[in-house]
């Protein structure tokens, strides 16, 4: 069973992914590993942006959508290959990726879940988590896909605006049990 969890930065997708009870492949962590280990990726990024340092690239790409597209055109092939190599052939896994569908991973998922939250709450979460100014957090949110994109693309949508998600989680685990192949381990059913 492969479950995709997606949504913009600060929506709480990583928190939800961790609660589903499966191994989680975090696309952001994969990207960070690649930045540390892949000389080919670093060379491409330096050739395009003059740097491969994340904070420097973030200040470039989150203020210019064309630069974000350039970054994605370079990084996606590396991230996709790394994630695909980590998906167990007959196991259960959650892929946590804000760019799940853009990477083409939505097609590999048995179930996709979009996590959404109000923009003011997302901005606050990003500021607290990443130590960013309000302006930089707003730039990050504004550079990402709108909620409508995720609503249209995902099988299920979870609104994570700070309320208790216990009932939502129970329903999701029930849906996972319905979708899961007979050999998969199901939780909460």
**What mean pLDDT comes out for the span 177-187?**
52
Q: How far apart are CA 5 and CA 99, in angstroms?
A: 10
Phi/psi for 8 (5° steps) reads: -75, 170
**Chain segment 4-57, per-residue pLDDT in tens:** 999 999 999 999 999 998 999 999 999 999 999 999 999 999 999 999 999 899
* For residue 183, pLDDT beyond 80: no
Specify the residue for token string 């979009």: 114
Instruction: Give the residue with greater pLDDT, 75 vs 185.
Output: 75
Tell me what pLDDT residue 180 has.
65
pTM of the predicted model, to two decimals?
A: 0.88
Q: Give the model's pLDDT for residue 181.
A: 54
pLDDT tens digits, 125-135: 999 999 999 99
Residues 126/10, Cβ–Cβ less than 8 Å? yes
Give the residue extent of every domain in the chain: 2-178
pLDDT at res. 175: 83
pLDDT tens figures, 87-146: 998 889 999 999 999 999 999 999 999 999 999 999 999 999 999 999 999 999 998 999
Please compute, for residue 168, the number of CA atoms within 13 A of its CA located in the half-sphere on the CB side.
16
93 or 179: which carries more pLDDT confidence?
93
Strand order across the beta sheet in which 93-96 lies = 23-26, 93-96, 2-6, 111-116, 156-159
Q: Could you tell me which of 178, 157, 67 has the C-alpha nearest to residue 114?
A: 157
Assess if CATH 3.90.1640.10 describes domain 2-178.
no
């Amino acid at each position: 069973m492969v479950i995709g969890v997606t949504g913009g930065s600060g929506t709480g997708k990583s928190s939800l992914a961790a609660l589903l009870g499966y191994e989680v492949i975090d696309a952001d962590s994969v990207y960070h590993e690649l930045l540390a280990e892949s000389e080919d990726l670093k060379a491409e990024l330096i050739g395009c942006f003059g740097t491969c340092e994340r904070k420097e690239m973030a200040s470039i790409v989150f203020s210019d959508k064309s630069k974000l597209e350039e970054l994605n055109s370079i990084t996606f092939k590396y991230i996709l290959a790394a994630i695909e190599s980590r998906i167990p052939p007959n196991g259960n896994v959650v892929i946590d990726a804000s760019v799940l569908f853009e990477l083409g991973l939505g097609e590999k998922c048995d179930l996709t879940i979009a996590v959404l939250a109000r923009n003011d709450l997302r901005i606050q979460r990003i500021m607290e988590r990443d130590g960013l100014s309000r302006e930089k957090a707003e730039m990050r949110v504004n550079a990402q896909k709108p909620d409508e994109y995720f609503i249209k693309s995902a099988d299920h949508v979870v609104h994570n605006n700070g309320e208790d998600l216990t009932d939502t989680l129970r329903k999701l685990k029930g849906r996972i049990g319905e979708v899961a192949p007979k050999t998969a381990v199901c939780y909460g059913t």
